[in-house]
Amino acid sequence: MVTDEEWARIRGNLRFGQVLRGTVAQVPSPGAIGIFVDIGLCVGGFVDVLLLPERAEQWPVEGTVTDFEVWWADSRQQVRLKPCDQQYLREDFADFIARVRPGWPADIGRPVRDGGPVTADELASLRERQEGRDV
């Protein structure tokens, strides 16, 4: 774990959409939470299940080396990532960002900032999608 000051410095050097090469370090519950990625920093990377394909067998496996984009970084001292390779990205990504994060294209290249927690509307949308997957 790094200090808050170190994290602020690291986060201050990140840009939305910045490409980082990473190695999938752990896939703890395929299909459930996401994947942990070693991106060569003193903090780890994480790809949320919501950005990955619905079928866990399409996810990158431990040891996979590929490129990821910086998607978010908040107070959790973890760089949230989005797969660059379309095979590891949810199939409806364009529709997903239009619903959940419509400002993403405009954010690319801007410094990462902590925009706070997910809104109630965003959470409801994500839950609806997850429930639809379980049917």
* Residue count (the chain): 135
pLDDT digit string, tens, across residues 14-33: 999 999 999 999 999 888 89
Q: Residue 46 in contact with residue 73, Cβ under 8 Å?
A: no
Evaluated on CA atoms 12, 36, 50, 108, the torsion sign reads positive
pLDDT at 31 (0 to 100): 82
Q: How confident is the model at residue 135 (pLDDT cuts 50, 70, 90)?
A: very low
**Does the global pTM surpass 0.85?**
no
User: For residue 1, what pLDDT is reported?
Assistant: 77
121 or 111, which is more confident? 111
